[in-house]
Amino acid sequence: SQQGEEDPQALSIQEGENATMNCSYKTSINNLQWYRQNSGRGLVHLILIRSNEREKHSGRLRVTLDTSKKSSSLLITASRAADTASYFCATGGNAGGTSYGKLTFGQGTILTVHP
């Protein structure tokens, strides 16, 4: 079953613009991770944010987490054509919970960046 719902399902922008993707989840979490997947290839880990963190940065990526709203967002600034990919959020559960020991993925956002 899918824990997360991602919004939008697809996003099309021009190079240089910012891209924002949102993820909502249902149960309490230990952490939330964002991944990128290029056209049916492997998943590349982008960033992990823990439940006691509110914001994290990595290069052009900015992730926020609002545990009260059970939501997260991924912002890619100054996008490039090479950022074209599917982006997934995945939640990790707490020890002792039913979600511990696995990542539960959303359906993903397909990002297309036009040169």
Partner 1 sequence: DSGVTQTPKHLITATGQRVTLRCSPRSGDLSVYWYQQSLDQGLQFLIHYYNGEERAKGNILERFSAQQFPDLHSELNLSSLELGDSALYFCASSVATSTDTQYFGPGTRLTVL
| Binding residues vs partner 1 (CB under 8 A) | 1-2, 30-31, 33, 35, 40-45, 48, 50, 88, 90, 92-95, 100-108
Q: Give Cα 57 distance to the centre of its chain.
A: 13
> Residue 57 Cβ, how far from partner 1 at the closest point, in Å?
16
Which C-beta is closer to partner 1: that of 25 or that of 105? 105
Contacts of 40 (CB under 8 A, 6+ apart): none
> Residue 25 Cβ, how far from partner 1 at the closest point, in Å?
14
CB-side neighbour CA atoms (13 Å) of 28: 6
DSSP category for residue 35: E
> Residue 15 Cβ, how far from partner 1 at the closest point, in Å?
26
The amino acid that residue 22 corresponds to is: N
Instruction: Quote the CA–CA distance of 95 and 93 in Å, as a whole number.
Output: 7
Which C-beta is closer to partner 1: that of 48 or that of 61? 48
Which C-beta is closer to partner 1: that of 4 or that of 79? 4
